[in-house]
C-alpha cells in the first residue's frame, strides 16, 4: 500500500457520492427488490433502510479491516459469510425491538444477505480502501438507499392509503388509491421516480452543454 493517497477523493466526496451522484438504487439500480417490496408504508421503508445501512456499514468496516488476509479466490464466499452474520444480528435485533415491524418485513430481513448493493460495495470499495473510507462509503450509500426507500414509501403510503406514518392526512372522505398499495404500484412509482431523475440528469447535461457553447 502507498503511504496515504493525496490524489484520491476527499472524505466528504466519499461520503456524499452515495447520496446523489452514485445513488445505489436510483442510479446504479442495485438492491431493487426490497425497494419495491417493503415500501407500502413509511415505517417499513425506514426500518428496512436502517437495517440495510447497519449491515452495510458493519460489513464494510469488517471487510476493509481483513482485506489483506483474504485470499483472492475465496473472497466472495468470505464477503457473503460476513454479510450473513450481520444480517442474522439484525434479524434478531428487529424481532426484539418491534414484533410488528418484524412481521411486516418478514422474509425480506433475511433477504438483505442477497442485496446486491452490499456485496457490490464490498467488492468494489471496501476490499480496496481503508477502514475509515469504507465506513464513510457505507454510511453514504446506506443513507442514499434509505432516501430511495423514503421516496417510494412516501408516495405509496400517501396515495395508497391516505396516511403518512399511520396518521390520516385527508380526513374520512378520501378514497384510497388502491393501485399504489398493490404490487404494480411499486413498479409504477419506482419507474416514475427513475424517469424523473433521468429527466433531471438530461436537463442538467443540456444546460452544461449550453454553457460550454
How far is it, in rounded angstroms, from Cα 178 to Cα 186? 11
- Which CB, 9 or 183, lies closer to another protein? 183
Piece of the chain touching another protein by CB under 8 A; list 55-63, 112-120, 156-164, 169-177: 112-120
Q: Which residues contact 170 (CB under 8 A, 6 or more apart)?
A: 162
102 counts as binding another protein under rule CB under 8 A: no
In the range 132-171, which residues lie near another protein by CB under 8 A? none
Q: CB-based contacts of 100: which residues, under 8 Å, 6+ apart?
A: none
Cβ 132 to another protein, closest distance in Å? 27
Among 8, 20, 77, 165, interactor with another protein by CB under 8 A:
77
CB atoms within 10 A of CB 67: 18
Give the residue among 131, 133, 117 at the shortest CA–CA distance from 61: 131
* Nearest CA-CA partner of 90 in 121, 120, 65, 59: 59
For residue 104, state whether it binds another protein (rule: CB under 8 A): no
Taking the complex as a whole, the smallest distance from the CB of residue 120 to another protein amounts, in Å, to: 9
Find the part of the chain contacting another protein (CB under 8 A) among 3-11, 81-89, 129-137, 141-149.
81-89
Contact 186, 39 (CB under 8 A): yes
The site map against another protein for 47-76 (x = CB under 8 A) is -----------------------------x
Q: Which region, judged by CB under 8 A, interacts with another protein, from 15-23, 126-134, 146-154, 185-193?
A: 185-193
In 3D space, the residue among 108, 84, 93 whose CA is nearest the CA of residue 32 turns out to be 108
Q: Is 182 in the site for another protein (CB under 8 A)?
A: yes
E-assigned strand segments in 112-192: 163-164, 167-168
Check residue 187 and give left, alpha or beta (phi > 0: left; psi -120 to 50: alpha).
alpha
Q: Is 37 in the site for another protein (CB under 8 A)?
A: yes
| Interface with another protein (CB under 8 A), residue from 195, 204, 205, 207 | 195
Distance of CA 5 to the CA centre of its chain: 28
Where along the sequence are the contacts to another protein (CB under 8 A)?
29-34, 36-37, 76-77, 80-81, 84-85, 87-88, 91-92, 106-107, 110-111, 113-116, 119, 179, 182-188, 190-195, 198-199, 202
Amino acid at each position: 500500500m502507498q503511504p496515504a493517497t493525496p490524489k484520491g477523493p476527499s472524505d466528504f466526496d466519499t461520503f456524499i457520492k452515495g447520496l446523489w451522484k452514485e445513488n445505489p438504487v436510483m442510479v446504479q439500480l442495485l438492491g431493487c427488490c426490497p425497494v419495491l417490496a417493503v415500501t407500502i408504508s413509511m415505517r417499513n421503508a425506514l426500518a428496512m433502510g436502517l437495517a440495510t445501512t447497519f449491515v452495510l456499514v458493519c460489513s464494510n468496516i469488517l471487510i476493509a479491516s481483513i482485506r489483506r488476509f483474504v485470499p483472492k479466490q475465496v473472497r466472495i464466499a468470505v464477503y457473503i459469510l460476513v454479510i450473513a452474520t450481520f444480517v442474522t444480528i439484525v434479524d434478531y435485533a428487529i424481532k426484539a425491538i418491534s414484533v410488528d415491524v418484524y412481521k411486516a418485513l418478514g422474509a425480506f430481513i433475511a433477504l438483505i444477505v442477497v442485496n446486491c448493493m452490499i456485496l457490490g460495495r464490498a467488492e468494489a470499495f471496501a476490499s480496496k480502501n481503508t477502514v475509515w473510507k469504507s465506513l464513510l462509503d457505507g454510511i453514504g450509500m446506506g443513507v442514499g438507499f434509505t432516501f430511495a426507500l423514503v421516496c417510494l414509501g412516501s408516495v405509496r403510503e400517501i396515495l395508497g392509503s391516505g396516511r403518512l406514518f399511520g396518521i390520516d392526512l385527508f380526513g374520512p372522505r378520501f378514497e384510497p388509491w388502491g393501485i399504489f398499495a398493490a404490487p404494480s404500484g411499486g413498479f409504477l412509482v419506482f419507474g416514475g421516480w427513475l424517469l424523473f431523475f433521468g429527466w433531471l440528469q438530461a436537463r442538467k447535461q443540456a444546460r452544461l452543454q449550453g454553457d460550454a457553447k
